[in-house]
Amino acid sequence: MNTKTASGAILTVKRLTKVYGTAVPVRALDEVDLSVEAGEIVAVMGPSGSGKSTLLNMLGALDRPTSGCVMIEGNDLDGVRDLDAFRALTLGFVFQMHNLIPTLTAAENVQVPMKGRGARRRRQHERAMEMLELVGLVERAGHLPSQLSGGQRQRVAIARALVNEPRVILADEPTGNLDSVSGREVIELLVRLNRDRGTTILIVTHDRNVARSAQRILQMNDGRIVHEHIVGDALTEDLLALAQSELGRRIIAQDVDALAGLPLVSDGRLTRMGAELSALLRSLTDETRE
Ligand SMILES: Nc1ncnc2c1ncn2[C@@H]1O[C@H](COP(=O)(O)OP(=O)(O)O)[C@@H](O)[C@H]1O
Ligand SMILES: [Mg+2]
């Protein structure tokens, strides 16, 4: 599916394909087209194995596509000479597993992406403290990851992702391991960054409420973007509300009794509409049905 192709795009993906393995090839991404505007928050949903992490890894130049291209701020990643430097300056990563270095303090972890950038040690420390202040953790600067809660560790990881002021943040299930309160804090922080600094954010999530913080929700399946929902759009809002209701859950499960309860003509058409509605609702959840 083609998502909007605008000229103000900070990130553009064309026919991006990734095939893993050779003996039994897996098409993790199948000719994906995507365009993200500067300052957008885009949520990526979809069942496990649908290619969400692969997409983020390609966008972040953490791995190379089989074919197709990724352009960030007009640079085709294929033509970027020093990918490490480009990545460090342009992109911030937040993963489900925070990946903090256990033997470094919070402040030292935040400084890691600044290494090799020539900044003075003292300046690096000051900058790390600014970032920790931003995420509300200045008083924990000297703590090791093991001395922090899950939510605090993830906030340190966000501070680290931000330290070079990237224009784009790629977040892969950043709240996946957090309780709902910490998860909300992390999302609020990302939304605030987006609002105050115009940081463009791509966030993979299984949580519909998290996805609602975005302007768009992309639903992936089998390596493709199969649906795009605009948050705030009347249909999307209705679908989100229905998906959360008992009736919605039953329709998603293709519960025939629930479908029969809908005020629709009970013939082949009903089944067809029910199946279409069910597919739409499922595209806002991560529930799969074979
Ligand atoms: N390094 C890899 N080698 C082989 N197959 C992989 C690799 N990474 C991912 N895959 C496969 O690619 C598909 C998409 O995976 P992934 O992008 O991790 O999905 P998601 O993040 O949506 O759960 C899956 O079938 C997965 O098994
Ligand atoms: Mg994943």
State pLDDT tens for residues 104-149. Answer: 999 999 999 887 666 688 889 999 999 999 888 999 999 999 999 9
pLDDT at 266: 54
Same domain for 173 and 76: yes
Instruction: Give the C-alpha separation, 120 to 106, whole Å.
Output: 18
Separation CA 33–CA 1 (nearest Å): 7
Range of the domain at 273: 241-282
SS3 of the chain: helix, strand, coil, percent, to 5: 40, 20, 35
Q: Dump pLDDT digits (tens) for 14-36.
A: 999 999 988 899 999 999 999 99
Q: Which residue from 19, 24, 26 has its CB within 8 A of the most atoms of ligand 1, so it is best to mutate? A: 26
- For residue range 153-178, what is the model confidence (pLDDT) as tens digits? 989 998 999 888 899 999 999 888 78
- Say whether both 114 and 17 belong to one domain: yes
180 lies in the same domain as 258: no
Torsional sign, CA 114, 119, 121, 122: negative
- In which residue are the tokens 């050779």 written? 22
Identify which of 68, 61, 9 has the alpha carbon closest to the alpha carbon of residue 33.
68
Strand (E) or helix (H) holding 45: strand 41-45
Whether the pLDDT of residue 71 is over 70: the answer is yes
User: What residue's CA is closest to ligand 1, atom 17?
Assistant: 51
pLDDT classification of 3: cutoffs 50, 70, 90: very low
Beta strand 168-172 with 91-94: parallel, antiparallel or unpaired? parallel
Residues 151 and 259 in one domain: no
Clarify whether residues 159 and 275 are in a common domain. no
Q: What is the mean pLDDT of residues 189-205?
A: 92
- Three-state secondary structure along 28-43? EEEEEEEEEECCCEEE
Structure tokens at 217: 């929700």
Q: Is the pTM of this model over 0.75?
A: yes
Report whether pLDDT(54) > 60.
Answer: yes
Residues with CB under 6 A from ligand 1: 20-21, 26, 28, 46, 48-54
Is 216 in a helix, a strand, or coil?
strand
Pick the more confident residue, 195 or 207: 195
Tokens of 250: 């039953």
Residue 176 lies in a domain: yes
Question: Do 44 and 170 belong to one domain?
Answer: yes
